[in-house]
Amino acid sequence: MTTPVPRVMVPGSVSRHEVFPIKAIIQHEMETGLRTDSTGQVIPRKIINGFVCRYGSVEVFRADLHEAVAANPFLEFYLRATESGRLEFIWQEDGGAIYSLSHEIVVT
Amino acid sequence: MTNWTRRQICSMAGGVLAAAAAPHVARSQNKPRVVVIGGGIGGATVARYLGDLKTMDVTLIETKRRYVTCFFSNLYLAGLRSLASLTFGFEVLTERHGLKVIHQAATGVDPGTKTVTLRDGVRLAYDRLVVAAGIAFKSGEIRNYDASAAEIMPHAWNAGPQSELLRRQLESMEDGGVFVIVAPPDPFRCPPAPYERASLVAYYFKQFKPRSKILILDAKDRFSGQELFQEAWGRHYPGMIEWLPRQFTGAVKIVDVAARSVVTEGETFKAAVANIIPAQKAGAIAEKTELTDASGWCPVDPVTFESTLQRGIHVVGDSIIGGDMPKSAFSTNSQAKACAFAIAASLTGSQQFPSHLFNSCYTFLAPDDAFTNAITFTPEGGKIKTVETFISKVGESAEVRRRTAHQAVGWYSAFTADVFGEGS
């Protein structure tokens, strides 16, 4: 398995009430559980099944992902800036592993 | 009763053919002239196959005395092959395959008078011209990336000095550095090659600089053999290779040579070593001869490979609009043979056979792990269409992959002997 590497792209500063884009990607094979390996054994499912973005303590974006999502799932969504704060990004993997990143955003 | 050997029958058949071709043989003082510009895989193949027929005067024009194959040059970058083992001269072609080589640049073509002008001013007349110009880089797509920037941030997309430069940089890079590969938009020479490069450099890092990382900033959202590569990266080099699609980065817009960094729409990435593979178009002489259309590539008839823009000029290889055929050395070789037989048919009345176009490629994921594809093509409605495809699968056993890697080495020897002559 690839070691999942998460990455986000967020503007460093935005003006108050500005709508700004966030891009999030994680290097992940998204193993569907439907394939067999070289010995004919089924390779167990291991996908990123959920993604959450929090702004401070408030959840502002959530996505549930399923087997049909391609490898290296890429998400792009928009937020509206209200005040400076910490954005937190969390990817949840089958089996309970969590990958996360955080990013300070300055609202001017 | 006479026991006829196969040889005797063949020589009789040969006699009949020779008689049929007699009007041309009689003109042997004045054989049809074919000039081939470019001594890469395409040009060398056309020249060799036409030269072997001995019915035409064949002249190959190539500036360099030595050709280094792009294919297998990623093995050189990983320290797995010498550059000398990938280098070929033209001596066998001139000594045994009935052609003349002029080591000079072709500076111009006049399709009206059917002449090629060389750098020293000499003009060569032709009945048919073949332009095998390879690729050139589009300028301006990545700001600041020009010929002098390529001396700091090599493209290594023509094998030779650029490959040596990139190898030196990788060797002197400190452990823990980031090797950035900027992968080009389609269409480009050898679609799986940027990712094979990442795989083999990862193999080198894993042995000598295990804390180093490879970051691929792609101008595309998908790439050739993606599933096979990503599966192998997880297996051989976990956590070492990161691939970012265009939709994430917005693609590389600027390079900062002094800082050795690359700037995408949203972020600047600092590199210890940067390999910038720019967007591509047909080689300079093809453009200058007005063989290219608005796409930057050369439209051709898929049977004869004659340009649809300039009569009497044929184009083969990476610079054509190849339909379903990828820009690969083997595709080029296959096109070059079809082109050679079409030229022979047209100039000497030899029989023209239906064209069979092939591609066969081997791609290394590690020294003992390679995948392969084999594709057949046919001309259809003015375009080249795929007939059948074989490609290695994800999940093949290590033994199958080892065998494929072994076959690749044999493929290389047989293929280069076909192009540059046995013993070259």
Asked whether B135 and B282 are in contact (CB, 8 A), the reply is: yes
Closest residue in A to B249 (Cα) is A9
At residue B271, does pLDDT exceed 50?
A: yes
**Among A4-13, B8-17, B189-198, B218-227, the least confident range:** B8-17
* Residue A90: φ, ψ to 5°: -130, 125
Task: Kindly give the pairing relationship between strand B252-256 and strand B241-244.
Answer: unpaired
The reported pLDDT for the residue numbered A81 is 84
Interface of B with A in 43-62 (CB under 8 A): none
The pLDDT, as a whole number, for residue B13 is: 42
Number of domains in chain A: 1
Q: Specify the pLDDT at position B19.
A: 41
**CB contacts < 8 A (A, B):** 51
- Determine whether the interchain pair A5/B242 forms a contact, defined as Cβ–Cβ distance below 8 Å: yes
Question: Which residues in chain A are closer than 8 Å to B238, comparing Cβ atoms?
Answer: 1-3
Q: Mean of the per-residue pLDDT values for chain A?
A: 92
B231 at the A interface (CB within 8 A)? Answer: yes
| % of chain A exceeding 70 in pLDDT | 98
Q: Would the CB atoms of A7 and B226 count as touching at under 8 Å? A: no
Domains assigned to chain B: 7-137+281-354 (3.50.50.60), 149-278 (3.50.50.60)
Q: For the domain that residue A46 is a member of, what is the CATH number? A: 2.60.40.10
Average pLDDT over residues B252-263: 96
| Percent of chain A topping pLDDT 90 | 78
Does B211 contact chain A (CB < 8 Å)? no
Rounded to a whole number of angstroms, the distance from the CA of B320 to the nearest CA of chain A is 33
pLDDT on residue A2: 61
CA–CA distance, B193 with B340 (Å, rounded to integer): 28
**Residue of chain B nearest A77, judged by CA positions:** B248
Higher pLDDT, residue A22 or B140: A22
Hey, are the CB atoms on A38 and B238 less than 8 Å from each other? Answer: no
Nearest chain B residue to A23, by CA: B248
For residue A27, the enclosing domain spans 5-107
Contact check, Cβ <8 Å, A72/B245: yes
Q: Flag whether residue B174 sits within 8 Å of chain A, measured between CB atoms.
A: no
Per-residue pLDDT tens digits for B309-326: 999 999 999 999 999 999
Nearest CA distance, A25 vs chain B (angstrom) = 7
Check whether B96 has a pLDDT greater than 80: yes
Out of B231, B233, B395, the one facing A36 most closely (by C-beta) is B395
Inter-residue contact A45 to A29 (CB < 8 Å): no
Each residue's pLDDT tens digit, B194-208: 999 999 999 999 999
Q: Which residue has the higher pLDDT, B361 or B8?
A: B361
Nearest-by-Cβ selection for B230 from A29, A74, A76:
A29
Which is higher by pLDDT, A56 or A91? A91
Whether the predicted pLDDT of B238 surpasses 60: yes
Confidence at residue B265, expressed as pLDDT on a 0 to 100 scale: 86
Chain A contact probe: residue of B213, B222, B229, B248 with most A CBs at under 10 A:
B248
